[in-house]
Structure 1
Amino acid sequence: MIGYWNPLPAARRVVERLGEQAEQLFTGAWEQRNWRNVPGPFYAGDTDSMAIGRLDAPEHIAYDDDLGGGFGSEFVYRQPVNEHETAAVVHGCRLELYRGYNWDGDDHWTAGTVRDWWRDRARVRDWAVAIAADWGADTHPHWGFNADPRYLGHYHDAARGHRDFIAYIDDGLESYLRGYLFWLEQRREPRDGEPLPRL
């Protein structure tokens, strides 16, 4: 996608159809956001360790390992760019027990912090490569009870998310972020042919 599409109007419609109260659904704190969240309106703050967001939004949500060995918190590795994807993200956020997601990223990200995140992307990518290799393996003796084969499919799916994240960092995320920079600076979607800011 070249440019930017604002998902928040579509997200508000989804929330309304679900009969949810946005202020109860999106309670995540910016100060607690996971450093792996890609810049954009949606992000995960302090979430539970149930790791079920990918059930509804596998192309957008991934899991970290900050608790050691097993699942830690969730984060948004790809922002939605159409109505279908936006609905998936809202549903994925809704699964989270602590309601630790939020959709107010536009109020916090700046051109400077987006560029800082992009400059530091190697840190995120290196982490994703390492965890994808670990969680994509078939045996995990160092995980204790989490090494139970019953959890293998869940870990393999999580590793798929990490590999998708790596692929997106390598091809696609830069274009998205350039469009997002335009949105942050202009507060409108770019018109066809309009130049986008550089990262």
Structure 2
Amino acid sequence: MTYWDPIPTLAILQPGAEPAFGSGWMGRWEERNWRNVPGPFYGAQTDTCWTGRLHAPDLILYDDVYGQEFVYRQPRNPEEVKDLLTAACEETVAGYNHDGDLHWTPDSVRAWWRDRGRVRAWATSLGWSDWVTSEHPEERSAAAAARHYAAYVDAGLAEYLRGYLFWLVEGRPAAHGQTLPELAA
């Protein structure tokens, strides 16, 4: 699958939600969580109420120290954009944003990928923490999502990032069979 641009779907679901504006979209790039996967959406200084996974469990995970929310997988279809929009609107301090395309560069995406071991180590350690056996279902769910994140880093994320690199350079998704940029450059 090539990169799919979720922003046109967001514009349909929430007209007037230009990058850096609109309900739920006040997160600042400089404050984004380092665990966010490159792409248009990210969590920055979010609250610690753990509401994101209630609406977008396949996209959002929590920082284990402060409980802040971040995007561990970018939306792949309109339904997931709707889920992320709902999570962003429920987040009480509007700490999400969708202006990542204005900030990510091929070099910064490649740098993030080179440092993926840090993300994977975090996700793996969280997945086997006290959350795994917690009496709280939301902690067990977050532990499972952390394991999914580590698996995504191992298989699937590289292909997504190569498609995203193409998108950043060309301003359009790659056509079927078109060569995608390499992550190691």
- The answer, yes or no, to whether TM exceeds 0.5 is yes
How far did 1:116 drift?
0.4
Matched letter for residue 91 of structure 1 = T
Alpha-carbon RMSD across the aligned residues, in angstroms, is 1.8
Residue in structure 2 matched with residue 177 of structure 1 by the alignment: 161
Residue in structure 2 matched with residue 40 of structure 1 by the alignment: 39
CA distance in structure 2 between the partners assigned to 1:28 and 1:136 by the alignment:
27
Residue in structure 2 matched with residue 97 of structure 1 by the alignment: 92
Matched letter for residue 156 of structure 1 = R
2:25–2:97 Cα contact (<8 Å) kept = yes
Residue in structure 1 matched with residue 4 of structure 2 by the alignment: 5
2:39–2:101 Cα contact (<8 Å) kept = yes
CA distance in structure 1 between the partners assigned to 2:103 and 2:15 by the alignment:
24
Matched letter for residue 7 of structure 2 = L
Q: What is the TM-score with the length of structure 2 in the denominator? A: 0.93
| 3-state SS, counterpart of residue 168 of structure 2 | helix
Residue in structure 2 matched with residue 31 of structure 1 by the alignment: 30
Matched letter for residue 58 of structure 2 = E
Q: Deviations over 1:82-134 (max 9, x none)?
A: 11111111111111110000000000000000000000000010011111111
How far did 1:22 drift?
4.5
How far did 1:171 drift?
0.8
How far did 1:65 drift?
1.6
Higher helix share: 1
Q: 1:192 aligns with which of 154, 157, 176?
A: 176
Q: Structure 2 stretches of 5 or more lacking a match?
A: none
Cα pair distance change 1:157/1:117, threshold 3 Å: same
Residue in structure 2 matched with residue 116 of structure 1 by the alignment: 111
2:24–2:91 Cα contact (<8 Å) kept = no
How far did 1:164 drift?
1.1
Cα pair distance change 1:135/1:186, threshold 3 Å: farther
CA distance in structure 2 between the partners assigned to 1:73 and 1:166 by the alignment:
18
CA distance in structure 2 between the partners assigned to 1:85 and 1:138 by the alignment:
28
> Alignment identity in percent?
47
| Structure whose alpha-carbon radius of gyration is higher | 1
Moved over 6 A (4+): none
Q: Confirm whether residue 132 of structure 1 aligns to residue 131 of structure 2.
A: no
| 3-state SS, counterpart of residue 133 of structure 2 | coil
Residue in structure 1 matched with residue 146 of structure 2 by the alignment: 162
CA distance in structure 1 between the partners assigned to 2:81 and 2:130 by the alignment:
27
1:5–1:189 Cα contact (<8 Å) kept = yes
CA distance in structure 1 between the partners assigned to 2:14 and 2:23 by the alignment:
11
| 3-state SS, counterpart of residue 129 of structure 2 | helix
| 3-state SS, counterpart of residue 150 of structure 2 | helix
1:135–1:158 Cα contact (<8 Å) kept = no
